[in-house]
Structure 1
Amino acid sequence: METYLLDWANLLLRWLHVIVAIAWIGSSFYFVFLDSSLTPPEDEQLKKDGVSGELWAVHGGGFYHPVKFAVSPPKLPENLHWFYWESYSTWLSGFALFLISYLWSPSVYLIDPKVFVWSPGAAVAGALAFLVVFWLLYDAICRTLGQSKHGDAKVGALVLVLVCVAAWLATHLFAGRAAFLLMGAMIATAMSANVFFWIIPGQRTVVADLKAGRPVDPI
């Protein structure tokens, strides 16, 4: 019975994970396109309101006119959509899938005696440590070097080194398929943690400042 339930959970979570991941990455790609396609506003009122860019588009028989405020709009709308559940649902469904597919049976899916011999509990703890430690190191790199001269290049180079070291460790500790899946889970955890610990709190600070009438810090 347990195997039957796990198979169904695996199937449903796999589909859920794929769908919400498409929503997350798709919306991210859309905003990348939007930012790269914006043109300076032509309307004087938009300029006075602080609009930094606009885009006219046609899709599905309708015309759309999104505008971007560089720092903050002159007035906060009542209905404001927050883009974070795309990220959270992707990570939660992915972790749940990782849990029932690998962590639930570590002796079968995580451990390969030909690669490394350790107990099921230690293997599970090691897999979880990959997710947590990578995020902590990645975050530390961004904090210390992100705002320095050529910060993007430094962060990119060090994160590349960090991923390579993690990949080497994973392939020397875990079964082959688990090692590479763990790498994807590790990077995805850092992506979603960025949203949870940095992006959304920063946006909440902006909204709170707007509601309180305080000047908004773009940083």
Structure 2
Amino acid sequence: MKTVLVMGASRGIGLELVRQYVEAGDRVIATARDEAGLACLRDMGAEPKTLDVANPASVSGLSWQLDGEKIDIAYYVAGVFSDEDAKSPPTQQAFDAMMHVNVLGAMQALPQVAPWVEEARGQFVFITSDFAHIGGVQSSRAWMYHVSKAALNMAVVAAQPDYPNAQFLLIHPGWVRTDMGTAQAPLLPEDSVAAIRKTVAQRKTPKTSHTCADVPYLRWDGSAFSGW
């Protein structure tokens, strides 16, 4: 039985990760921002913990909530999306909100969680996007989202050498039929998550020391992006 932590688990991909790992018989610790989300996670058989990645005070308390844990797999799933392009400048408020959840939240959570992943010589998975793939950009659609996910990738890669006994992974979940992905998305959450879980398991390495060169940037099905 593995201990799995899912940050951002109240809906979509995060909620499906909880469902599948619980169903597989693993112990799941999962976070949500409000009581409704916490109650849902509790009903699913997870151990709920309050976390709002947009609130630094909330994130700062995460480490003591996990005190003494050995986390085999941690997921940072929390993220927001907006669809603007480069034809008009983003407002400071919109930019700050996007970067806070997608980048700063992850950067604040990482040092709170990574030591407990190291305790298990486990894996820390960050849900990113193909919008972060600079070589694949075709338009400025979702301009700020492009920037935020590219920044997330850099933050994770740069942090890896500080936690050599944890393996960091960046995974694009595909275009998934969630509130953020919209009903037009071709990939169902259960299919995306099943593939992500398989990819994470296959990428588990016995190496005892990881460097920035070891951080893979992958699609949900395990295929790797060519370059960044």
Q: Same fold (TM over 0.5)?
A: no
Higher normalized helix content (fraction of residues)? 1
Q: When the two structures are superposed, what TM-score results if normalisation uses the length of structure 2?
A: 0.24
Larger of the two Rg values belongs to structure: 1
Higher normalized strand content (fraction of residues)? 2
